Amino acid sequence: MAKHEGFGSPTRRFLIRAGWKIIQALEKLIAKHSLVGNETFLDPGQFEWISRLEANWPVIRSELEEVLKYRDELPNFQDISIDQSRLSPDNKWKTYFLYGFGYRSDKNCERCPVTTKLIEQVPGMKSVLFSILAPHKHIPEHRGPYKGLLRYHLGLIVPEPRTACRIRVGNDIAHWEEGKSIIFDDTYMHEVWNDTEGERAVLFMDVVRPLCFPVSLLNKFFIWLVSLSAYVQDAKKFHEAWEKRFDQVVAHS
């Protein structure tokens, strides 16, 4: 009988190394053909959909506030994506997913109808959630998985002093502002601090990076492959299990 190859097997390590080399080569191609530059923080004015979200931020915040009535029942990020356990082993980073890598959370979307309508008009939208950081939460330095996506934040609840609530991307630092947007390349090493006494919450979204044709097609194909991976499928299962439990809580409240 063939010996079972576990997570640390030579075959698995070879596949991981080979996969990472493919991603590195693809990211070089993406950087060369990006239509929006390759800086750490990008100019929000390059994205026409951002103004619509900013114009509607009060109603997005009001839908978030309804969700926050169930704060203790919201999942920690690592409850949905177990790979986040290294970054956040505690219960100070809560999430509320609307979309995850193209998969729609119908119940969550029903509770946030205006937010859902707005995000579904965003070209290339892949993942959307409310990201909620407790006071004195620090997310250590890390990089995002893939340059073909861009990370977007819309400030919804930003505690004072704003200088103590910040994000570093590469060597650049930004502070959230309520009703204002930050869009950045999360493949630069980045980290987050909420060194205040208040809670910080943003609308957190991943969108497909605008690219020249035909690299844009290659990028979309690769993102589709990732959506089929165990990484995404496992997160989908964890979220569906949480969703069932949460529905019962809401129904009995």
Per-residue pLDDT tens digits of the chain, which is 253 residues long = 444 444 455 655 555 565 667 888 899 999 999 999 999 999 999 999 999 999 999 999 999 999 999 999 999 988 898 777 778 889 999 999 999 988 999 999 999 999 999 999 999 999 999 999 999 999 999 999 899 999 999 999 999 998 999 999 999 999 999 999 999 999 999 999 999 999 999 999 999 999 999 999 999 999 999 898 888 899 999 999 999 999 989 888 8
Is residue 6 in a domain? Answer: no
Is residue 3 in a domain? Answer: no
Q: For residues 237 and 234, give the distance between their C-alpha atoms in angstroms, rounded to a whole number.
A: 5
Return the amino acid letter for 58. Answer: P
pTM score of the predicted model: 0.90
Cα first-last separation, the chain: 54
Is residue 241 in a domain? Answer: yes
The CATH number that applies at residue 74 is 2.60.120.330
H helix runs in 70-202, sequence order: 77-80, 106-111, 113-119
Q: For residues 32 and 230, give the distance between their C-alpha atoms in angstroms, rounded to a whole number.
A: 29
Q: What is the share, in percent, of the chain residues with pLDDT greater than 90?
A: 77
- Tell me the C-alpha to C-alpha distance, in Å, between residue 157 and each of 153, 162, 179, 184, 188: 12, 11, 9, 19, 25
Given this model, what pLDDT does residue 1 score? 41
Task: Give the count of domains, the chain.
Answer: 1
Given this model, what pLDDT does residue 6 score? 46
Classified as helix, coil or strand, 252 is coil
Is residue 36 in a domain? Answer: yes
Is residue 153 in a domain? Answer: yes
Which domain, by its residues, includes 206?
11-251
Is residue 184 in a domain? Answer: yes
